[in-house]
Amino acid sequence: MERFLEYIQEAEKIIQTVDHMTYITFPLIKDKKLLLKILLEIKIAVANCINSILQHEYIYKRIVLYKNATTNFKIFKEQCALKYKITKEEIESISELFDIVEEHKQSSMEFVRNEKVVILSENLKTKIITIEKIKEFLLLAKNILNKTKKRILR
């Protein structure tokens, strides 16, 4: 099976699981670790969609891929996003999602306050994650997956 199809299948599986975790599991458990896990999984699903698009375009020799993920993301933004009807707002949201996950990985401290997860960076800058923000990212992931499937599987 083509690699880009595997990425799509994996993204679908992750989004289905994350959807269940967001709307059913989290309201019951209300654990900050679960919110962070959901966020990380959404990032992986979106990255899989982007990788699927990049692989598909690479196979048909429309783009060149590099070992550097940042360079490949730039190629995705500049050469692929428009073709897949991915808007500037969606690209900004993807960048925000990736930034939050990166801040979480590098953060030395996180805590919960009033149903929100607060991530504290090294320079004491805070990033707040709410369940509403998680739901926005989940909707973003679903939209990106649908646009990817619509273009690739036609």
Residue 121 main-chain phi, psi, to 5 deg: -85, 175
Which CATH number goes with the domain that contains 56?
Answer: 1.20.120.330
Overall domain count for the chain: 1
Tell me whether residue 123 is in a domain. no
Tell me whether residue 26 is in a domain. yes
Residue-level pLDDT at 1: 63
The tokens for 33 are 């670790």
* Model confidence pLDDT, tens digit, residues 84-103: 999 999 999 999 999 999 99
* Model confidence pLDDT, tens digit, residues 25-47: 999 988 888 999 999 999 999 99
Distance in angstroms (rounded) separating the CA atoms of residues 110 and 112: 7
